[in-house]
Chains A and B, each alone.
Chain A
Amino acid sequence: MNDPALSHAGRRLLNRRAFLEQAGTGLAGIALASLLSRQRLMAADHSPIRPVIRPENPLAARMPHFAPKAKRVLVIFCSGACSHLESWDWKPELARMDGQPMPGAAENFLTFQGENGNLVRPLYEFKPRGQSGKMISEMFPHLAELADDLCFIHSMTAKSNTHGPAENQMSTGFTLDGFPSMGSWASYALGSEADDLPAFVAIPDPRGVPQAGVNHWSNGFLPAVFQGTAFNVKKPIYNLTAPAGDAAARDVLKKLNERHLEKYPGDFELSARIASYELAAKMQLSVPEVSDLSKESASTLAAYGADDPDPLKSGFAKNCLLARRLLERDVRFVQLFNGAYAMGEGVGNWDGHRKLKEQYDIHAPIFDKPAAALISDLKQRGLLDDTLVVWCTEFGRMPTFQKGASGRDHNPNGFTAWFTGAGVKRAFSYGATDELGHKAVENVATIYDLHATILHLLGLDHERLSYYHNGIERRLTDVHGHVIHDVLS
């Protein structure tokens, strides 16, 4: 009864290719964009490229601008601003100057939350790792073992020192609410390779959503078809479970809709709606399947820590496994979040204002082992060859403690992100902060640069991938950004 293929009427439509291509579209925004592109004079080499979206199948796989290195992207996002000074950015001078005032800082050295005290040494020991000898702290012992595979950018800068806007920027390019997320841009540009799963999945931490919430996977002003679908092992997609009588009901609906379509032959919106119910039916099967970890071997579960008795640890570990399963099934863009703001400052995330060491002693073990297992697993399965992995956080933390506290305040002027996988160098470090880890000084990189590089690896020119909205040819990178060629392999 439940025919997974496209309905008869829909199929007939889809074959009429020539007709379709002339036809403008049911997606009003896109019709508009193509209209504009014809209207305007643009320089040949920088003219906006707006993907041709077939309205009857807006998620059809599309060609990139040039040959890509990566087919998929996994973004691992540590929400709350994970301190670069405690993790990846080794600052021996900071250790040496422990307890001294920040050189050159005003007496009343104000940052996000207010006054700061003196410099404080990194709170974890750093050791040389792998053959490269990269200094990484003991906070992330498992990830540290992967040092030879990682490609660090130590000179990241953000435009805001507030979590929400900075997280917005990291995921959408803009500090404001309402802009499309990176994953939405990717699915807008490239469509989907997975025919029964969303093109773009966000996996929120089991404890809740990050500070900027759904903005991380929002489609902003792009058509809703490009929005990220959020679910994790604990919390499935809303409304995925079909009520009783599903198959029979679906069949009758299809017949009624096909009958109605006869009055509007060639109408894409109507036929796309018929097809959408068929994809929904497929997702009702495929999403529970991909979220079902019971078929994973005991050794895999153990490697990730998915069998850990601590539900916080096993919860995140299961999300890591889900990420791998999604990538395996060719989901284009996966966001994996660690940390949630729903529980308050620092309690469930990396926002270490008050008692940084105590908080990180809790959070690091939740994150480290499963994340490292995920990367090793991707590597072992060959998925790293064409999957780009990005680790990021919204900004860094200050080399000082806040006045009267044992934690560090927000620092948007210098922090670390790293890549591994498709198209990037291994055991490589790019850019640097100053000796105290306060500000990026060498090869200063912006979030625009990070995004430009990610798009580049997907075979997309960040200056050309655009969408017309409200008078402006919008890009993920606004009017900024340079591909960081030095990190490309």
Chain B
Amino acid sequence: MKTHTVAAVYHRRIKTLLRVSCCSALVIPVLATELPPPSNRPVDFVKDIQPLLHDTCLKCHGPEKQKNNYRVDVKSIALKGGDTHGVAIVPGRSAESPLIKFVAGLDEDMVMPPKGERLTADQIGLLRAWIDQGAVWPDSASTPLEDPRKTHWAFQPVVRPPVPAVTAAGISVRNPIDAFIAARLAEKGLAPSPEADRRTLVRRLYLILNGMPPTPEQVAAFIADTRPDAYERLVDALLASPRYGESWARHWLDVIPFGETHGFEVNTPRENAWPYRDYVIEAFNKDTPYPQFILDQLAGDTTGADAATGFIVAAAALLPGQIGKDEESKLKARQDELNDMIAGTGGAFLGLTLHCARCHDHKFDPVAQTDYYAMQAIFAGVRHGERPLTTSESKEREKELPALRTQYEAVSFRLLDFEPLASDEGTTPQRPRVPVNARLNVDRFAPVKTQRLRFTALATSENNRYEPCLDELEIFTAGPDRRNIALASAGARVSSSGNYRGNTKHRLENLNDGLYGNDHSWISNTVGQGWVEVKFAQPETIDVVRWGRDRDLKFRDRLAVQYRVEVADAGGGWQTVATSGDRAPYRDDKSESTPIPPGLDDARLVAWHAASGEAKELEKKLREATQTPMLYAGRFEQPAPTFKLYRGDAMQRREQVSPGAVAAIGSPLQLPENAPEQERRLALARWLGDRRNPLPARVLVNRIWQHQFGEGIVSTPNDFGRNGARPSHPELLDWLADEFMSHGWSIKYLQRLIVTSATWRQASAPVPMAMQKDAATRLLWRFPPRRLEAEAIHDSMLSVTGVLDLRMGGPGYSVFAPNFNYVRVYDPKVEYGPAEWRRMIYQTKVRMAQDSTFGAFDCPDAGQSSPHRARSTTALQALNLFNSGFVSQQAGLFAARLQREAGDGNLDAQIKRGFQLTVLREPAEDETRLCAQLAREQGLPVLCRVLLNANEFLFIP
């Protein structure tokens, strides 16, 4: 145990010291108490010292590892020291040099080397003598420090390279892309493949540009189009299709990582995050120039693209209730949020791992720790959360509000007159009144003068499981000029039997604040019961009470299904004016229609329907007019100063840092410490969109290339730093980047350039010789075929079965069964219907929980950025696509379509149509035979399921 104790003390210290450290803790050797004496002979660095340092220290403090950012092979760093302990070697003063103390084992917290053989007293003596003699170190014996700013390709300015000349015969060069590709192929003794047939090309174009296959008719039209520019015309049409933005927005959302839930354990919905998704779709469709795309996402509040700033807060974040109440937890959670913003921006636009500089200078790239905190200062005023979106439309709607309110009030009063009087006996008459419902209930009674009314809940829905809830209690004066005298604004005061303590939202004041819905409701403190009393400003003659649990009908629990309404009489007693007793029993039937009052004759019924319809219409308009749309796109506030944090530890502040960007890249950006919040984001956006910044254009061009060919020219799309992959075609990348910038940073221009190249138009069949040299097809001797991504599989399927709903934008659809647990449970829906048959980009993106059919196809989970999806093949994918209810249902719909379009009794024609729709070709004879037998034995839907699972259907050819 003795050794443990020492180690424990040591371990504890090192832990506090290196909270967020990348360094490893060490095993403790024996401690020394005094230094060995310096050697008394002249010491030569190269002969005596360098070998010693190399043998002993280089493994951890050399070219490969620089623990504590210290290395002994570079003179300047060896002398200056690492991140901690100050100057390591003090010339002339060996006893004070930390290096000597550490190798001698004087400091129990830091003994070097930590493992292996320690230096002998003689060796230490030599080192001491060298230092005491002035630590002479010839520059020639120092490893030159590489300056990546000067040497690493990605940090060099984009210079348009010359287009290589293609001399070989028979090579098609449609644009310079082909020349660059052909040149690299020639180096390897390879040649491009011939052009693919038109049927393949049209399918490939649709799948890649629009994310779903063409119809057989579209294929036929293209094949029949003999104009010389038929191909280019099709490309233009597909780039102009709204389907283009829907497909390509998905690729950008992967990079972010965009999610519509908060993540972590509660993972509750972020209701208003979807406008960001719509912004991205629109930006791709409108071909927003890239610098504008950057500007919108960082500072859309200045460009009229408010939703675009959803970019900054796209990642998961802890909600306040999930963050510890202690100071450290709060600071750390905030640091994590800011880190996501920095990492997101750095990865998306710069292709740099800026977050690696959170605790220390970047190990590979010229990103100083100070740069990281300068970037943090840019985002320091951005908070996760919603902000209201005021648009010209919303202002316009607001103006209509008073008139709408008056109209609505009038019709709602008209409706009151259709209600039968509540029996004050509490008995059920022949024709009971309508059952209570969660939305709105009316109790009409003979006019009575009083100053106080009491509503008592006696039982609630769901077997008295919860305390009763009222979103509003309205009490109207009798006569032609009805007024709601329960309103606080009319001078009424409310009291209750007790108020809910679980959530501060459901306060008593909500009962008569004139606002409806669960967020403006009162809840009692007693399960199943509770009363509220309203005292009017003065005695009034009243005859109607109107109340509801949630006029938005989001909630049906907590509904008072048994209740009593009483008014105070002159003598101070309570007189019952209405009860639930004469209503039909409560049914939790989920119906949203307004129940028809009983006992209406035909004429009155017609009148009621007219009034009720009018009321509904007005309610809808009112809702639209009163709801300021909210956006989950960040809240902005002037931030407190930003400080560099020692080793990234939120508790260890160092010097203040002013807003800025990576100093070593592009033109310098440095703002005053107190720069206005918005100005900070604007400045960063301008810095990123500046042609002099060598990274953003290269990074974007590479992303586009990657989604065209399956692999980028740089295969590490979010890391263009020294740790990333080298470009397979560096000149081509630069040529494309320059071309892109020179053409207004137009992404559609770039897309067109790529898909009209001969390279892209190649056939995809394997060529044995080429497979041997380059099986991964990195050099593009063919078009690399690949499996469709999850969303394209989904969309393609719905497209061929004929049920795809192409409605664009707005709130997404959910594939999970409704659930309101405060820690959300995401179980897949059991049944799917037209509401779920939109394009998958409109599927509400729940973090971590995946679509139970398509998620397994390497769909990103919106946890971490996923700029490059893995493409794997699993048994679960097969189970999902072959067995799931979703696909079986689609197979049924597909079968119905085939029967409809090919004739009910004609199986061969149905099979032919099935092949045309899925794989855009006619079936071969043996295929027809095989399929017909299956359809006859097992039914057409089973065959349809097979066609929807076929490799040919699921692959980009």
| A interface with B by C-beta (< 8 Å) | 19, 22-32, 35-36, 39-43, 46, 55, 58, 110-114, 160-165, 167-168, 175-179, 198, 208-209, 211-215, 218, 220-225, 227, 229, 237-246, 248-250, 252-253, 255-257, 259-261, 263-267, 269-270, 272-277, 279-280, 283-284, 341-342, 344, 410, 441-444, 468-473, 479-480, 482
Residues of B within 8 A of A444 (CB): 8, 11-12, 15
The winner among B847, B864, B877, B931 for most chain A CB atoms within 10 A is B864
Docked CA distance A23–B927 (Å): 31
Distance, CA A22 to CA B858, complexed state (A): 24
Known A24-B775, A112-B326, A279-B875: A443·B883 in contact at CB below 8 Å: no
B880–A26 contact, CB under 8 A?
A: no
Interface pick from B172-180, B517-525, B603-611, B820-828: B820-828
Closest B residue to A209 by beta carbon equals: B825
List the B side residues contacting A112 at CB < 8 Å. 324-326, 329
| Chain B residues, CB < 8 A from A29 | 868, 870-871
Residues 566-582 of chain B, each 1 if its beta carbon lies under 8 Å from chain A, else 0: 00000000000000000
* A contact residues around B87 at 8 Å (CB): none
Interface 9-mer from B393-401, B477-485, B635-643, B946-954: B946-954
**B952 contact from A164, A227, A256, Cβ within 8 A:** A256
**Does B853 count as interface, using CB distance less than 8 angstroms?**
yes
B414 beta carbon closer than 8 Å to chain A: no
| A9 to B: closest C-beta gap in Å | 11
A265 B766 Cβ-Cβ under 8 A = yes
A443 touches B8 (CB 8 A): yes
Whether the Cβ atoms of A470 and B718 lie closer than 8 Å is yes
Bound complex: CA A39 to CA B873 (Å): 27
- C-alpha spacing A26/B777, complex, angstroms: 11
One of B849, B850, B865 near A470 (C-beta < 8 A): B865
CA A480 to CA B359, docked complex, whole Å: 14
> Across the interface, do A26 and B943 meet the contact criterion of CB distance under 8 Å?
no
Tell me the complex Cα distance, A35–B955, Å: 25
B25 to A111, Cβ gap below 8 A? no
Nearest B-chain residue to A163, judged by Cβ:
B265
B794 to chain A, nearest CB (A): 15
- Contact partner of B934 (CB less than 8 A), chosen from A220, A224, A252, is A252
Assembly CA distance A221 to B866 (angstroms): 7
Residues of A within 8 A of B922 (CB): none
Q: Mark B785-800, 1 if CB is under 8 A from A, else 0.
A: 1110000000000000
Q: A177-B863, A178-B861, A224-B874 are in contact. Are A164 and B949 (CB under 8 A)?
A: no
Residues of B within 8 A of A266 (CB): 766, 771, 775
A35 touches B725 (CB 8 A): yes
Across the interface, do B946 and A224 meet the contact criterion of CB distance under 8 Å?
Answer: no
Q: How far is the CB of B409 from chain A (nearest CB, A)?
A: 42
In the complex, given contacts A55-B873, A242-B882, what are 15 additional A-B residue pairs having Cβ atoms less than 8 angstroms apart?
A19-B775, A24-B778, A36-B716, A43-B65, A110-B327, A177-B847, A179-B863, A221-B870, A224-B870, A238-B884, A241-B883, A242-B883, A256-B952, A264-B785, A442-B8
Bound complex: CA of A227 vs CA of B25, how far in Å? 32
Complexed CA–CA distance, A177 and B336 (Å): 12
**Chain B residue at minimum C-beta to C-beta distance from A430:** B4
Give, as a whole number of angstroms, the nearest-CB distance from A106 to chain B.
Answer: 10
How far apart are the CA atoms of A29 and B849 in the complex, in Å?
22
Confirm or deny: B430 has a beta carbon within 8 angstroms of a beta carbon on chain A: no
**Interface stretch among B125-133, B139-147, B315-323, B831-839?**
B315-323
> Which A residues touch B771, using CB under 8 A?
19, 23, 266
Q: Is the beta-carbon distance between B930 and A252 smaller than 8 angstroms?
A: yes
Contacts of A468 in B (CB 8 A): 716
User: Across the interface, which residues of A come within 8 angstroms of B927, CB to CB?
Assistant: 256, 259
Residues of chain B within 8 A (CB-CB) of A264 are: 764-766, 785
CA distance A442 to B879 in the complex (A): 50
Residue among A32, A39, A249, A441 making CB contact with B946, cutoff 8 Å: A249
Pair A111/B326 contact, Cβ less than 8 Å: yes
A91 to B704, CA, bound (A): 61
9 nearest interchain CB pairs?
A178-B863, A471-B719, A164-B265, A24-B776, A178-B864, A245-B938, A164-B264, A23-B775, A177-B863
Choose among B22, B322, B323, B847 the residue that contacts A479 (Cβ–Cβ < 8 A): B22
B890 at the interface (CB under 8 A from A): no
| A470/B265 in contact, CB under 8 A | no
User: Given the complex, which residues of B lie within 8 Å of A36, measured CB to CB?
Assistant: 716, 725
Identify B950's interface contact among A165, A225, A257, CB under 8 A: A257
Complex: A264 Cα to B776 Cα, angstroms? 14
Contact of B910 with A by CB under 8 A = no
* A259 partner residues in chain B, CB cutoff 8 A: 924, 927
B852 x A28 contact (CB < 8 A): no
Q: Are A223 and B870 in contact (CB under 8 A)?
A: yes
Chain A residues, CB < 8 A from B265:
162-164, 167, 211-213, 341
- Report how far A482 CA is from B115 CA in the complex, Å: 14
Residue pair B858, A224 in contact (C-beta under 8 Å) = yes
Interface membership of B711, Cβ < 8 A:
yes
Known contacts A114-B325, A471-B718; A276/B883 CB under 8 A? no
Give Cα distance in the complex from A271 to B882, angstroms.
17
A274 lies within 8 A of B725 (CB): no
Can you pick out 5 interface pairs between chain A and chain B where the beta carbons lie within 8 Å of each other? A39-B726, A178-B862, A250-B882, A267-B785, A273-B951
Instruction: Write the nearest CB–CB distance from A426 to chain B, whole angstroms.
Output: 19
- B-side contacts of A470, CB under 8 Å: 347, 353, 716, 718-719, 864-865, 867
Closest chain A residue to B255, Cβ basis: A470
A249-B945, A269-B786, A283-B879 known; A223 vs B325 contact (CB < 8 Å): no
- How close is A325's CB to chain B, nearest CB, in angstroms? 19
Contact B863 A272 (CB under 8 A): no
CA distance A259 to B930 in the complex (A): 12
Separation in Å of the B350 CB from the closest CB of chain A? 11
Known: A31-B776, A249-B945. A224 touches B872 (CB 8 A): yes
Complex: how many Å from CA A249 to CA B316?
A: 42
A225 CA to B877 CA, complexed, in Å: 9
- Is there contact, CB below 8 Å, between A280 and B864? no
Could you tell me the distance in whole angstroms from the C-beta of A469 to the nearest C-beta in chain B? 8
Residues of A close to B850: CB separation below 8 A: 214
Residue from the list A225, A242, A257 in contact with B872, Cβ < 8 A: A225
CA distance A242 to B900 in the complex (A): 27
Q: In the complex the two chains form, what is the Cα distance from A352 to B257 in whole Å? A: 34
The residue in B65, B775, B879, B939 that gathers the most chain A C-beta atoms within 10 A of its C-beta is B879
Most buried by B among A23, A161, A273, A410: A273
Q: Are A269 and B870 within 8 A (Cβ)?
A: no
Identity of the chain B residue whose Cβ is nearest the Cβ of A478 in the assembled complex: B22
CA distance A84 to B771 in the complex (A): 59
Contact A471 B721, CB 8 Å, known A112-B329, A178-B863 = yes
Q: Is the beta-carbon distance between A252 and B856 smaller than 8 angstroms?
A: no
A245 near B4 with CB under 8 A, answer no
In the complex, are the beta carbons of A176 and B316 less than 8 A apart? yes
- Residues A43 and B64 in contact, CB atoms below 8 Å apart: yes
Q: Which residues of chain A have C-beta atoms less than 8 A from B263's C-beta?
A: 177
Is A256's CB under 8 angstroms from B715's CB? no
* A480/B24 in contact, CB under 8 A: yes
- For the complex, what is the distance from the CA of A122 to the CA of B266, rounded to whole Å? 30
Q: Tell which of B7, B723, B938 touches A249, judged by Cβ atoms closer than 8 Å.
A: B938
Chain B contacts for A341, CB-based, 8 A:
265, 823
B237 at the interface (CB under 8 A from A): no
Which residues of chain B have C-beta atoms less than 8 A from A35's C-beta? 715, 725
Interface positions, chain B 172-227, Cβ under 8 Å from A, are none
Out of A162, A163, A443, which one reaches B7, CB within 8 Å?
A443
Candidates B64, B267, B787, B825; contact of A269 at CB < 8 Å: B787
B356 close to A213 (CB less than 8 A): no
Q: Which residues of B contact A284 (CB under 8 A)?
A: 879
Q: In whole angstroms, how far apart are the Cα atoms of A24 and B861 in the complex?
A: 26
Closest to A43 in B: B64
Tell me how far the C-beta of A66 lies from the nearest C-beta in chain B, rounded to whole angstroms. 19
Query: Is A225 a contact partner of B874 (Cβ separation < 8 A)?
Result: yes
Q: Give A439's nearest chain B residue, CB to CB.
A: B12
Query: Which one of B5, B874, B951 contacts A274 once the chains associate, using CB atoms below 8 Å?
Result: B951
